[in-house]
Amino acid sequence: MNKKYWIIGLLCCICSCFFQAQAQVVRADTINLATAKTDVAKTKDSAKAKYKIIPRVATMRSLMVPGWGQIYNRQYWKLPLVYGGFGVNVYFIIMNNNNYQYFRKYYEEIYYKASGTTIEVIDFDGATRALSADQLKRRVDAYRRNRDGSYLILFVVWAANIIDANVTAHLKTFDLTDDISLKIQPSFSSPNIAEPVFGAKLTFTLK
């Protein structure tokens, strides 16, 4: 009988040790998992802290290369707008300049001829038309104005690209935390009268 009790007691001790070991393993795994999550969070916070936007850098990069400031500010969706504006204006500059040079050649050819003289010009539709010096001059002036206007718009797009990069960088570095606290506390004063005056004082704290 004593031997049976001894065996049962031994089995109970073994089971107790086993469950205690399992509990320690589970606890160790839980601690390791929590530590790993904390390390990952710290790594992400550290990576965010390392990337600091400086408005001056964003401005200089947009001044040197259009769109570079937007990339620096991590606003990649603005790149199609910037390069689209530049591409459209460059297209019109080239087109108007080619037309200006084309009709200018005919205008210079007829300029020194007698008044009322016309010259055969192959127009854009492929038809040949007899154009006078006045007609050619109007076309030359129109295409020159369009070309110069496209240059002006190109400069405006470049300036807008620089201003956008600068303003966005300032907004990204500006503290927009809406942390306003209100504190109410009793107040005691005696403004040049015999009896003291009790009241309340409101204190706003901006953080």
Q: Is the model's pLDDT at 14 over the cut of 70?
A: no
Q: Residues 72-92, buried b or exposed e (16+ Cβ, 10 A)?
A: bbebeebeeebeebbeebeeb
Give pLDDT tens digits for 188-207: 555 555 555 555 555 655 55
Distances (CA, A) of 149 to 27, 142, 154, 162: 74, 11, 9, 20
Q: Is the model's pLDDT at 182 over the cut of 50?
A: yes
Q: What is the pLDDT averaged over residues 43-65?
A: 77
> How many helices (H) and strands (E) in the chain?
5, 4
- Token pair recorded at residue 16: 């107790």
Where is pLDDT greater, at 65 or 120?
A: 65
Give pLDDT tens digits for 159-181: 999 999 999 998 887 655 555 55
- DSSP labels, 37-88: HHHHHHHHHHHHHH----HHHHHHHHHHSTTHHHHHTT-GGGHHHHHHHHHH
Q: Is the model's pLDDT at 77 over the cut of 80?
A: yes
- Per cent of the chain over pLDDT 70 is 57
Q: What is the pLDDT averaged over residues 9-24?
A: 49
**Are the C-beta atoms of residues 70 and 78 closer than 8 Å to each other?**
yes
Q: What is the pLDDT averaged over residues 123-134?
A: 84
Q: How far apart are the first and last CA of the chain?
A: 77
- Token pair recorded at residue 94: 């080239």
Environment class of 169 (CB within 10 Å of its CB; exposed 0-12, middle 13-18, buried 19+): buried
Q: Is the model's pLDDT at 94 over the cut of 50?
A: yes
Q: What is the pLDDT of residue 79?
A: 93
**Are the C-beta atoms of residues 167 and 73 closer than 8 Å to each other?**
no
Q: Is the model's pLDDT at 78 over the cut of 60?
A: yes
Nearest to 140 by CA among 82, 97, 170, 80: 97
Give pLDDT tens digits for 135-160: 899 999 999 999 999 999 999 999 99
